[in-house]
A and B are shown apart, each in its own frame.
Chain A
């Protein structure tokens, strides 16, 4: 029986999607990909992943936020970690984070992962979430 954790990775940049898929797979996870907000939600419903990593700027500037919101409104989504993948905080000078519960509540995500992904940091955040759930 396959007991690998399933991660849904959503990004509209196909190159980054593939790179991150390889990186996450190298850490022993199974990775499913989607390259738009809409496709991301459909895949989420179909595959019920153990975690989601969502790029912020896709079809629209806030596609990632919207997808997070929809996932966190779903019964299954409530119980899994949803991470936003972005470099927008640097690009726009607009500061936001997910370090406080208010921020997490507001952006509907459990953590922010900055681009380029530092895979060890990502795994640590993911495992910390599962530990907490236990």
Chain B
């Protein structure tokens, strides 16, 4: 628009004036259209948008003010002048009220007309520019509003808690999840929130707000909101800066790490149990070696031999425990290489019983192995199944009484092959039964004190059974014996 000629509409019933003005303005570089009465003025003025219009006040058909009003209604940015020989204060006021830019008294000189139009055209350019900015601003505002809504939607759907506090300690933004972590039922925006924060959070806030360094720092702390690892939270507070690098406030993000903490706790308990269990045999052997080297203690050759044998037994137990632990760790990491093939349980059990023959005879045990007429084969890893039954049969021997009985029953029930291993031994106290499959658990009583073991065998048994989606049941009576029932699915 600015590169083309300014467009002017002259509306006047006076022919001489129209032609004169047209010539003059065209020479000045304007593009001129003339209308000889009000009707034509309205027609031209509303068909095209003119930059400027000079409208005669008194015309025979339609009043100049009405022409002005109609044109301005359609094109509010057309700068209109009212030309009249009947200038009066009232008409000037009225014309201005209706949107005339100015008012040119007749007769006017060419200079007067040109300077008025020039100034009017400048005014129009300024108006158009302002309008453009206004439009752009509105568009941007809309965009910002839209962005804000989108941001809120995102923040509200995060399960981590988010709370933004300005430098003055007023809550600026938060999401519903934050309420849970702050143990508050509601927060009002612009509410003073610092007095509702836990001391640890307040300390973080103060530290961040008071820091002079312009580094974008953040601090992370862990808080136990409810005791006994029931609700553990990790809180990260970071400083929010203005573009000028001044501190605007602090954003605090809360993360629920309860599950993580629980796992960490179980793991550290396990590690402490493992180290304790590993230390016991080392301490025992170390103690014997110290006795051998203590000149103040006189040991008989028999005693010495006895301690040597006992040291070896403890070291042997230590080795077994390390191997069991490695097995458990491999099962946990699922790095066990399985070779799945047809495994027949009766064959496995028979060969294990053969292996244990010496121990069975030593204790004078009677073994009864019964099976029904169905097939007892499943697809599994033969080493794992051997390990499973070796542990159980070894327990049935170890925890049996002299001249006792071991009964093994093998049968199909629904979709399972069930193996029942029953001993006539020590049995379990009710309180021990629940802990039976935990690592390092060994029932400790008068009758078990001379029986060696790592406390890991049944834990391994349970893991193997679980890995085949099977289950294990225990029935036991203290002093009477125990029955272990293993259910292995026919199809895995």
Contact = CB atoms under 8 A, between A and B. Distances in A.
A57 B276 contact: yes
B444 A59 contact: yes
B449 interface: yes
Interface in B396-451: 444-446, 449-450
A92 B287 CA distance: 22
A30 B284 CA distance: 22
Given A91-B275, A91-B279, A15 B294 contact: no
A13 B275 contact: no
Interface of B: 272, 275-276, 279-280, 283-284, 286-288, 290-291, 294, 296-297, 310, 314, 444-446, 449-450
Contacts of B314: 15
Given A16-B283, A16-B287, A22-B297, 8 more contacts: A13-B280, A14-B449, A15-B284, A19-B284, A35-B449, A91-B272, A92-B272, A116-B290
17 contacts: A12-B444, A13-B280, A13-B283, A15-B314, A16-B280, A26-B296, A36-B444, A36-B446, A57-B276, A58-B444, A87-B276, A87-B279, A87-B283, A91-B272, A91-B276, A116-B283, A116-B290
Q: Which of A12, A15, A20, A35 has the most CB of B within 10 A?
A: A15
A30 B276 CA distance: 29
A13 B296 contact: no
A12 B284 contact: no
Ranked nearest first, the 10 interchain pairs of A and B with the lowest CB-CB distance are A19-B287, A15-B284, A91-B276, A59-B444, A92-B272, A26-B297, A26-B296, A91-B272, A91-B275, A15-B310
A88 interface: yes
B53 to A, nearest CB: 92
Interface string A104-132: 00000000000110000000000000000
A26 to B, nearest CB: 5
Given A26-B294, A35-B449, A88 B288 contact: no
Contacts of B279: 87, 91
